[in-house]
Structure 1
Amino acid sequence: MQNYKHTFIIVLTIVAVLLGYELLRRKVGSFAGSYPFAEKWEIAAPLDSVKSAIVKLKNNDPMLFPAQDVLQFDIDHTGYYSKVDFYYEDSQQVVKTLLRERKSGETTLTLVEFEKSENGELKKMNRDFNYFDNRKEIKKFERLIYDEIIEKLNGSAIQSRTKAVR
């Protein structure tokens, strides 16, 4: 009987810690930066090259972009990032991303949030998804967008030393 109480307390403690972690991750997030819930990738290419690769991607796969005639890289409210939106046709979501050139000459690609086309509902990356849905969205983004950008950069004869920053 004593052994069951001990096991029950251990299991209960583990569950409480996991639930507490998930609550803090969703509600508090990170305390630094303008986009604390975003997922980031570093691309070993200058910002202009990454923008050119995105324009090539739009020319090859226009369905990956929201209905726009001209691709614009507007500046966000912080003044540091260029905004670019992609589109998932299967889930009818606008994928909001940011680009920023680093002093090292690399470019940071930041996945910020998803917006449903039909009702405008926003879901922030790393906050509004559970752990498994978060991983699923990251893999989908890497497969449909990030890998395609890297492929276009490699096609442009730019050495691409890439790494995911997490």
Structure 2
Amino acid sequence: MFTFYKIAGKFAPGSYPYAERYEIKASEKSLIQATNKFKAKHPDIVPADSIGLVDGRSASPDDYWYHVYFYYPKEDQLLTTWIRASDKTHSTFAFTAVSQGTGLGKWRLINKDLDSNENRLQKHQFEQRILKEITKNLE
């Protein structure tokens, strides 16, 4: 069984103050495994290797975020997200930015750089196409 809910993050300080955050009832390890399972089942949603976006943490010891990238082929959009443990049984899955096309210099932050209609659409698509499907893998 899983539960998730949105955490208001518009006014939160820190590294990702505008990220749309979802609290998931699952350990970080379980959530990463469910995400990998989802991506293996849907290879079209995985960014091409040539783009250079690799899931995981950077080599920095201060990188607490497990970065995960997705691609919407029909819309030709890249998404950047991250996963981080909240405690031993809960994790935060955050949607941070979207880019039109596969060029890496075109990131637009969720809850900041998009107009309200596009922002709402992007979050809805992420929730329905990605988050909902990943959390099914936790059942």
| Cα gap change, 1:147 to 1:76, in 2 (>3 Å) | farther
Instruction: Please state if 1:34 is matched with 2:15.
Output: yes
**For structure 1, which runs of at least 5 residues remain unmatched after alignment?**
1-28, 155-166
Counterpart code for 1:125? I
The residue number in structure 2 matching 1:80 is 64
Q: TM-score, normalised by structure 1?
A: 0.68
Q: Deviations over 1:131-165 (max 9, x none)?
A: 221111110001111001111111xxxxxxxxxxx
**Where do residues 7-86 of structure 1 align in structure 2 (5 Å cutoff)?**
30=11, 32-68=13-49, 72-75=55-58, 78-86=62-70
What is the identity percentage for the equivalent residue pairs of Structure 1 and Structure 2? Answer: 28
User: 1:85-134 deviations in whole A, cap 9, x for unaligned?
Assistant: 01111221110001000125201001011123344311110011112211
Residues in 2 aligned to 1:98 and 1:58: alpha-carbon distance in whole angstroms:
15
Q: Which has the higher helix share?
A: 1
Structure 1 residue 122 corresponds to structure 2 residue 107 = yes
Task: State the number of aligned residues.
Answer: 125
Q: Is the 8 A contact 1:76 1:82 kept in 2?
A: no
What RMSD over aligned residues (CA atoms) do the two structures have, in Å? Answer: 2.1
> What is the identity, as a one-letter code, of the residue corresponding to 1:85?
Y
Unaligned runs of 5+ in 2: 1-9
Runs of 4+ in 1 over 4 A off after TM superposition: none
SS in 2 for 1:153: coil
